[in-house]
Amino acid sequence: MDLASGHELDQESPPRSQRTCWNLETGELVTSCTIIVTDANALTRQIHDRLPVMLDKANVRPWLSGEAGTELLKPAAEDRLRVWPVSRRAGLV
């Protein structure tokens, strides 16, 4: 299946953006989701060895337009995240 894609920025919720894909043969939208991960930063490494990529707001448009590439896929700065303990029951959902 040949796919094409477009994008739109979610203006209501700046940290989110979405990308759409459609089948070039049928013109139908393709429902799909991808989470790009990278190495954990120093703050989260104690919990897990991977972390979802979190683009800085200034890098969202260049990423979605293709102007920027894999150089943006790096661990988030430690000051962008917070870590606190939760009950073990949280893992039983």
Give the list of residues 6+ apart from residue 33 with CB closer than 8 angstroms, or none. none
- Give the model confidence (pLDDT) of 16-72 as tens digits: 455 567 777 888 877 777 788 999 999 989 889 999 999 988 998 898 888 999 999
Cα–Cα distance measured from residue 74 to residue 42, given in angstroms and rounded to the nearest whole number: 12
**What pLDDT was estimated at residue 3?**
41
User: Whole-prediction pTM value?
Assistant: 0.59
